[in-house]
Structure 1
Amino acid sequence: MIIELAKNYGFCFGVKRAIKKAEQIKDAATIGPLIHNNEEILRLQKDFNVKTLENINALNDEKKAIIRTHGITKQDLADLKKRNIEIFDATCPFVTKPQQICERMSDEGYEVVIFGDENHPEVKGVKSYVSTKAYVVLSKKELENIKLPNKIAVVSQTTKKPEHFMEIVNFLILRVKEVRVFNTICDATFKNQDAIKELSVKSDVVIVVGGKNSANTKQLFLIAKMHCEDSYLIETEEELKKEWFLNKKHCGISAGASTPDWIINKVIAKIKTFVD
């Protein structure tokens, strides 16, 4: 059986930056999970004493706080700055960008449509920078019964599919007098999604490695599943099952943006024990 990695997969720029920061800072607390990968978070805790707090209210006597890659709300950041604690901002620059756009556009009187999951920490943070009115939607249907204003700005969660973003943009352009469109989808997301599509078409089994609470990882899995029925989402090699690989000729492997190489390597090694 051929085992082939996607052309683009794994750690993105923002995650690499955040992990490096956490390793250098040490003995700190992150506000929310630094990234969406439990195994890597456990490694940081064990090797660098970087612990994870649910929110800023969980801070006690910590001296150093790291803001997660997905960012935090504007209000939480303001509250954090009032505390006697050293702050290290590991918010991904691709997430900071829509925050800044939302703040600027709403200051100019635009209401804002955010294409994304309202419960995702990145979206919660971005929405908090809107001072007018924000509409968080996952499809154009959610906008159909809303009385829209004359001026609207549109941004996206960084991990969403561009074709779905364009459906919302096209819907708004036909109904709103002035629409300002900002493509805030991350380049790494484009590349990883294109790569898993290309790989899954020629594979008869696909393994996607990453946190099951990771939006970009789940998106990779959904794309793989569309083109290869025998696609599986796992967090570690322990979840692999030998029967998945019986009579398979080509195994494709991809990984979410928060998945480190050491986990991917363990997965590959385990698969090889099934087929050797």
Structure 2
Amino acid sequence: VGAGWRRETTSRGLLNQLAIYRSGLGQAEMQDVELCQLHRSEMDSEDPTVCLRFEPITNDVYLVALIVVVSLLVVAAFMSGVAFVVSTANAKRRLLKEKEDALENTVTKGLATIRQLGYPMALIGAKDFMNLNSEELQRCHEGLRDIGLLRVLDTTEEISYFHNMENVIVFFSYHWPSWNRLGPDDVQRHAMVHSLHLFAEKNGVDLEHVWVWLDIISIPQKHRGIQLLAINSLYVYAYSVDALIIIAPETVHQQTGQELGIDSYKNRVWTRVEQVAHLSAHGIDSLYYYTPTGLEVVDKKWLMDVI
């Protein structure tokens, strides 16, 4: 019997012979999982993929799956971060462009009033300016006017007479570092104060005779209609002063985080108009830019960048 079983098994194959045997005994066929456990080699010889379904998942498989999932999460997070950065940068550029366009429209209107003094020229003495602290400076035109610190010149004739009385007017040109806080920040204000000392020393003038034009001091801030008259007179103001000092130390814009300095200053619409106005009357000899070591006269390369 044993020899016959082995002969039939060899002839038919173990799995087929086993199925015939169990059928003859009235038993159900064995499940694949049972056959894989008892006769793995025979099952693999017929179909090597069947038994793989019943093998336990190894730690290596779990590790690979974990790596894949984590990698996908990292990629998704990175792409989300890139999308956020791009979206934020685009929003900042749009906002800056809108502000630049608004300023350019205002300047265009202002240029139509060249040589017309739409609003009096308001100045503060250099020593009074140097003694102001940040809080006092934030009182702007109206606050300093009310305490009697401003000298007001109502016409171009009065401006000329003021010059003839050996007074010297310095115009500060700079880039606002905030949309919420008026005027210069502490870094720029310190540069302005230092530049007045440098200017007086360089030109041999007494600070008692030096007067300052600064936008938040010289232009009204509360009454919008009067403010526009002064803004439209900007060209005349820059044209009428003895020196224009560019204040562009390295600082940071409070809202955008943009680094401010010489390069950002050159790209501003307002500052270009101020420089061109002054150049048209005085040339480059009285157009300075501030450095901690001294006042430098702009050169032709600077003019090419601006104009």
Q: TM-score, normalised by structure 2?
A: 0.22
Structure showing the higher strand proportion among its residues: 1
Q: TM-score, normalised by structure 1?
A: 0.23
Structure showing the higher helix proportion among its residues: 2
Which one scores higher on RCO, CA 8 angstroms, separation ≥ 6?
1
Higher-Rg member (1/2): 2
